Amino acid sequence: MSKEDRSRDQLAFHKKGRKQRKRNDHRMVHKLILKVAQEMAACYYEHAAHDNQFYHYYPSQRFFVDYEWHRFIQSAKENLADLMANPNTPESYKQDIYHALLLDATLPYSQQEAQLKVH
């Protein structure tokens, strides 16, 4: 199987998975954390898309973000926590971040993620 055939097969597989993941992905994360994770995924795509193999696998930024945003959840939470520790962050932002992290910690997915990370 040639490299192009393999890339085409992978793309077809991921397009099919993208449609199913959007329907069946029941992750619960706070909307602020979701937004930050999606923005981080989009920035990562811009950095990684210069590689042809990566670009064949993920042909568009929107496709990548829809399919891989969940991989950036933990990084999003860590970056938001770092923003809270930054003395230059306005208090209103800190309060919003604090409430988002606090509410997210009560969601079932966040608890599963914390339990899985420990093991």
**Mean pLDDT split into 10-residue runs, the chain, 119 residues:** 67 58 62 94 90 82 88 93 95 95 82 48
Query: Could you list the residue range(s) of the whole structural domain that residue 51 is in?
Result: 3-118
pTM above 0.75, yes or no: no
Q: How far is CA 17 from CA 22, 46, 100, in A?
A: 8, 22, 29
Measure the CA–CA gap between 83 and 106, rounded to whole angstroms.
21
Q: Which burial class, exposed, middle or buried, applies to 69 when counting CB atoms under 10 A from its CB (0-12, 13-18, 19+)?
A: buried
For position 6, what pLDDT does the model report?
67
How many structural domains comprise the chain? 1
For position 39, what pLDDT does the model report?
96
Cβ–Cβ under 8 Å, residues 109 and 28: yes
